[in-house]
Structure 1
């Protein structure tokens, strides 16, 4: 039996507005109970309007909020236009005054040590809320299909990117060609994601309809990593009419 809450909204703008409303209320409630809150951020097109709406909020005391993020390409400069560091710096960090902003360093010379360093950061505090998107192949962060990743011991690992993932980055105009897309990345693992108190997952657009159907209606399986969200105790999946069209 799934514990996942599914919402279907008119379009991606309505999804973004509702996700921002939920997050604002949740962070305000959290900060009423404790001194700080910790947020685990996602990137990608599904997050753009949502993060824009969220960072416009003047009701959240951002000076009490710590930020981490889910993944980063390996061997990519932090200032590269397609790096997630660049994305989050522009869309979140530069728009608010957070207590802390902790980046995965994709341009590290020692990726295994970077996994250890970031794992230590994640262990220091309970993550209160995580934002996710769903890859066209069903991945969460960069946890790719059929990688048997539901029982990872590590919190952060190095992964080889699925060809579909790399192609989607070209389709979304983050890279000019498949040759330019890194083959490896650093990612927070599935067990780490599932340890978060509250999860919001956004999936919009017709190109997500097929994987959303698989995610919700097929067996929970590493063939579709996002299906594991059906086992989390407090996750909301926000869809628009296009991504929900096959349900």
Structure 2
């Protein structure tokens, strides 16, 4: 098992820094594997809430390659989906999850947010009921360049959100990030609205692992850890979650004092 080069806490949040994204991904995969193994020793079914995005790719590959997890006893959820795009759209998070996870591990169930539903409010209610019926044993997160968790951008983030799933308007920084990471050809093609699991629902998970590698995350990591705990940087709420760990590489941690 690889070890982080630096460990420290910021408020209640454990932070671990690695020499490279690959080392980080491999270590986090082992941490997730052991946690799921332990959960499945204590109960019949485990529930996992997964994130999409480039920050998750090496971790998901490492976790699947590692083996040792009985996926037939795991129910999977995902954090968000664009409103109005089909499940086979190249940028669909359902497609990302189906190709990168579901087809490779055959979980007991994978509950998807139906982004192309004709009744978005009803879809929020449907997914809320699924989440509430199955407490989340592990939540995997990334951090957006505007500090968002899932699609909880600063303008719509609510640390005491009464909802578990909601429909939100995406801010320009978020939408531009989707272009910069190659999900869409230009800003005009990025949907303006999306479904998201809320911050209060994320924080109810029994264990949270948050991966934030790469130089482009350095500014938001610094703001998250050294600024105020505020919805101006939604990810800062993780500093109040003792069940959460933030995993960084030397690039994303480069601006930390």
> What per-residue deviation string (whole Å, max 9, x for no partner) do you get for residues 97-137 of structure 1?
21110000100000000000000000001100000000000
- The Cα shift of 1:201 comes to 0.1
CA distance in 2, matches of 1:94, 1:148: 32
Q: Is the 8 A contact 2:156 2:168 kept in 1?
A: no
Count the aligned residue pairs: 247
Give the aligned partner of residue 246 of structure 1: 255
Give the aligned partner of residue 132 of structure 1: 141
> What per-residue deviation string (whole Å, max 9, x for no partner) do you get for residues 61-94 of structure 1?
1100000010000001110010000100011000
Superposition map of 1:174-213 within 5 A: 174-213=183-222
Give the aligned partner of residue 141 of structure 1: 150
CA distance in 1, matches of 2:203, 2:107: 24
Structure 1 SS opposite 2:47: strand
Q: CA RMSD in A?
A: 0.8
Give the aligned partner of residue 70 of structure 2: 61
Q: Which has the higher contact order (CA 8 A, sep 6+)?
A: 1
Give the aligned partner of residue 230 of structure 1: 239
Give the aligned partner of residue 115 of structure 2: 106
CA distance in 1, matches of 2:19, 2:113: 34
Superposition map of 1:4-153 within 5 A: 4-153=13-162
User: Quick check: 143-152 or 200-209, which moved more?
Assistant: 143-152
Relative to the length of structure 2, the TM-score reads: 0.95
What are structure 2's unaligned runs of at least 5 residues?
1-9
